[in-house]
Amino acid sequence: MRGAVETIAKGAAQAAVTGSTAQPGTGSATLADTDTDTDTGTGTGTGTGTGSVTRTYTGTGSVTRTGTGRVAEAAAGKSAAPTASCRAARPRADALRNRERIVSAARELFVEFGPDVALDDVARRAGVGNATLYRNFPDRAALTHEVVLAVTSRTTLRAEEAVASESDPFAALSRFVHAAADERIGALCPMISGVFDKDHPDLLAERDRLEEAVAGLVSRAQSAGRLRTDIAVGDVLVALSQLTRPLPGIACQGIDRFTHRHLQLFLDGLETPARSELPGSAATLEDLRRS
């Protein structure tokens, strides 16, 4: 709507439009604008703005504004300034908790059933309604993206913590392997299966951080003579993935009680001196990307 009339019935108000026009007392002004909102206040009001504004003051100081210009109003007793509505709303704490619960539930189910698990099951495991899930993640690709991003980031942190906590390089590697299992690193398998955009910049950045951290753990343990030299970073990551998740589509709720036992057997086989000759060649990161 273009055009408006301002009528002041009670109180003394002053309106300044485009920085130079001021009208005190009672009377009317013809202005132009196209936006509408409503605030209330009592006493004397002052309005400023660029562009034109339509205001009607009632006996209690009710204000109706129409305009595309910015308007700031203050009244004795109550402020009529629409600052809250102009400010971008922050996510509520409960909304953030729901999002985290959805990601956590999806991570668990991806490990147990693979990335094609029904999203209804994810919502049920998270304890939220389907509408809440789809409000946060409109499709499977968006949810998978967030799960892989979260698991990758958290697993990288575990690698950095292992380095900071253990002076022995092989103990640091062992600590990381067990911590990565607790982070459900098996949920990263969707990154290999290609069910979403593997080349998204956020994912590539987090993947590079993780690979660099794990490569550092392996390199330090080998340089210290604690880790056999016929393995590479890819061997560690593949074993972690295989030993921390059941076969896709098979529910195995009790896998956790075996995971750390099998990981320790794996770590014992990595430590020097090597007790056997491994077939084939060491698996590198390049090998994983080509597979």
- Against a cut of 0.85, is the pTM above it? no
The answer to whether residue 104 scores a pLDDT higher than 80 is yes
Q: What is the pLDDT of residues 77-89, one digit of tens each?
A: 444 444 444 445 5
Q: Is residue 57 within 8 Å of 47, Cβ to Cβ?
A: no
Q: What is the pLDDT of residues 112-138, one digit of tens each?
A: 777 788 999 999 999 999 999 999 999
The answer to whether residue 229 scores a pLDDT higher than 60 is yes
Q: Is residue 47 within 8 Å of 55, Cβ to Cβ?
A: yes
The answer to whether residue 254 scores a pLDDT higher than 50 is yes
Distance from C-alpha of 154 to C-alpha of 164, rounded to nearest angstrom: 15
Residue type, 73: E
Determine the average pLDDT of the residues in 26-41. 40
